[in-house]
Structure 1
Amino acid sequence: MSDVLFTAHATAKGGRKGHVKSSTGQIDHDLVMPTDDTDKKGTNPEELFASGYASCFDGALNLVASKSKKDIDSSVTADVSFMKDPSDNGFKIGVTLNVEVNGVSQEEAEELVEKAHQVCPYSKATRNNIDVELNTKAV
């Protein structure tokens, strides 16, 4: 393994209808299955993954922008879908990253987003494993 800079820790118990808590206590949530007909409040693995991917990708985007000497303001919304996987009758996820970039042209925004997709740790981890669609909008 490469040189570790830090390690995050979270423990889940009870699967999709259980509880998840990080070692810092910043994440401490009941888990619910959104497709269940219940009044129980909570989050789900896809929402947690979307939060992580969106924040990581926005960080990567700002890094590549600064290295390209571009002054941008950006936001990333990750839509993580839970869906059936016909290849094994199981389930899989897919991601759409909706990226808004202020301060550059549409073409420059698309170039920066593609560069960010090459360096973002979440993009690297998911590459060739799940479908990731990039929607870029210069604003």
Structure 2
Amino acid sequence: MAHLYTAHANVSGGREGHGRTDDGRLDVKLARPGAMGGENVGTNPEQLFAVGYGACFEGALATVARRRKVKLGQTSVISMVSLHSVEDGSFRIEAALDIEVPDVDDDNLVIDLVREADMVCPYSNALRGNVDVAISANGLWVKGPREFGERSA
């Protein structure tokens, strides 16, 4: 396995603290969301995770398409990360991705590309077996809980 990159960040104060990357490009005030009793005055870890996962997955999709010589056109990913409390006092996250590939007319091809991207994406690989993930593409169910309706190709 070839090492490609390591990100470095310093976080202090937890959910009501501050996070900054070593290069200063990301510098955020962290705050609890209003739904958890916070004042919505900063970014929370779930938002950061959702942005990271969405960006990484879209990059994996572009890689898979390029390898298969498919022109995707403009794509977008709506990513959602939910935090849940568990009866034993621990916490779990769930994730959902809604991928839009409007310039590819073949629904089966889009679903195949998204499934392959799910196997390539490092976030998906880290989550597999640990976090429930639902994925849809162009409104069609791809995997996980059918959070995006019952349509399928």
Which one has more relative contact order, counting CA pairs under 8 Å at least 6 apart? 1
Describe how 1:1-139 pairs up with structure 2 within 5 A. 2-34=1-33, 35-38=36-39, 41-72=41-72, 73-86=74-87, 88-104=88-104, 105-137=106-138
Q: Deviations over 1:32-54 (max 9, x none)?
A: 1112242x511011111111110
Moved over 2 A (4+): none
Unaligned runs of 5+ in 1: none
CA distance in 2, matches of 1:17, 1:8: 22
Q: Deviations over 1:12-31 (max 9, x none)?
A: 10111111111111111111
SS of aligned partner of 2:101: strand
How many equivalent pairs are there?
Answer: 135
Once the two structures are TM-superposed, the CA of residue 132 in structure 1 deviates from its matched residue by: 0.6
CA distance in 2, matches of 1:37, 1:48: 17
User: Comparing both structures, which one devotes a greater share of its residues to strand?
Assistant: 1
SS of aligned partner of 2:60: helix
CA distance in 1, matches of 2:84, 2:51: 18
Q: Deviations over 1:96-116 (max 9, x none)?
A: 001001222221111110000
2:31–2:38 Cα contact (<8 Å) kept:
no
CA distance in 2, matches of 1:66, 1:81: 31
With normalisation by structure 1, the TM-score equals 0.91
Letter in 1 for 2:68: S
CA distance in 2, matches of 1:14, 1:113: 37
Once the two structures are TM-superposed, the CA of residue 65 in structure 1 deviates from its matched residue by: 0.9
With normalisation by structure 2, the TM-score equals 0.83
Letter in 2 for 1:95: A
**Percent identity between the aligned chains?**
41
